[in-house]
Amino acid sequence: MKSDVEDLMPRLLPIECGETSSVLNLDGPPRNPQEYLRQVQLEAALCPEVVVAKIDPKKLKKQQTVNISVAECHAAPAGFSPSLDWQQRQVSSFSDVRQSITKNRQHWSSHSLDDNVVMPKQADEEGWKQFCLGERVSQGTLSSHADANAEAGLDYSKVGFPPFLSIVSRFSQATVLTVLDILISWFEERDFVPQLGRWLYALLACLEKPLLPEAHSSIRQLARRCAQLRSNLASQDDDNLPALNLLICLVARYFEQNDLADQPE
């Protein structure tokens, strides 16, 4: 008995069947278009209508799906989150900065860099940490802001380069994403420092929309880390609170990660 496929195929591919299936050689090349179409019909007719996969249960036990729990964003302690008006003003100011960078990118990128400004290769993770944060901060040996200020301006190759517009305007979008990811990963295991905040703000200002999936993941990771540190602050007068609030605000409000946004108290 012919299958439904065999019944339909002649109507879909009308050909003259001059040869029977016993004469046709399915393993050999077709000699003309009609023979090719007839081979296709016969091969389809020989396929079983129902195919059951043979699965070895032992292999499934070794390759189970891993369920990863997504960490929630820590809610701000009472009195630590900014007002909605403050958040809206920061978003507006940030938008102006982004427009200015886009408008004047060619102008700033044409400025000559000092001889000591040697940017690392894109994949040089340690190089970017030292370039942006300096040796002592990137290695976690500098915790005092006073020490950082004492060394500032002496040797940028040691204390890290600020995110000058003449530098970040030269970054391709791939470099922006790479450096942003490197700094956020570093931040996951370190405390917040002002130099890091300046670089994160500058990189976010250079981040193009719509965001790529990997950029979504990185900036959400950044907001969660900021919220985690904020939840452990002892006082509303902590110097890092405005910067942490600002980064959370930009990720949530400007880049539309609304579930991470601080809600009015």
Question: What tens digit of pLDDT does each residue of 139-169 get?
Answer: 765 544 444 444 444 678 788 999 999 999 9
Domain boundaries, the chain: 84-138+157-260
Q: Which of 20-24, 49-53, 107-111, 206-210 has the lowest mean pLDDT?
A: 20-24
Q: Which of 116-120, 147-151, 183-187, 212-216 has the lowest mean pLDDT?
A: 147-151
Write down the pLDDT at residue 136. 78
Domain 84-138+157-260 has CATH 1.20.58.1070: yes
Among residues of the chain, what percentage have pLDDT more than 70?
A: 78
In this predicted model, which residue has the larger pLDDT, 90 or 212?
A: 90
* Residues 26 and 65 sit within 8 Å (Cβ to Cβ): no
Write down the pLDDT at residue 66. 46
Question: What tens digit of pLDDT does each residue of 246-265 get?
Answer: 999 999 999 999 999 998 77
pTM for the full model?
A: 0.69
> Is the pLDDT score of 1 beyond 60?
no
Mean pLDDT in residue range 236-244? 96
Question: What tens digit of pLDDT does each residue of 18-56 get?
Answer: 555 556 666 778 888 778 888 777 877 777 877 777 777
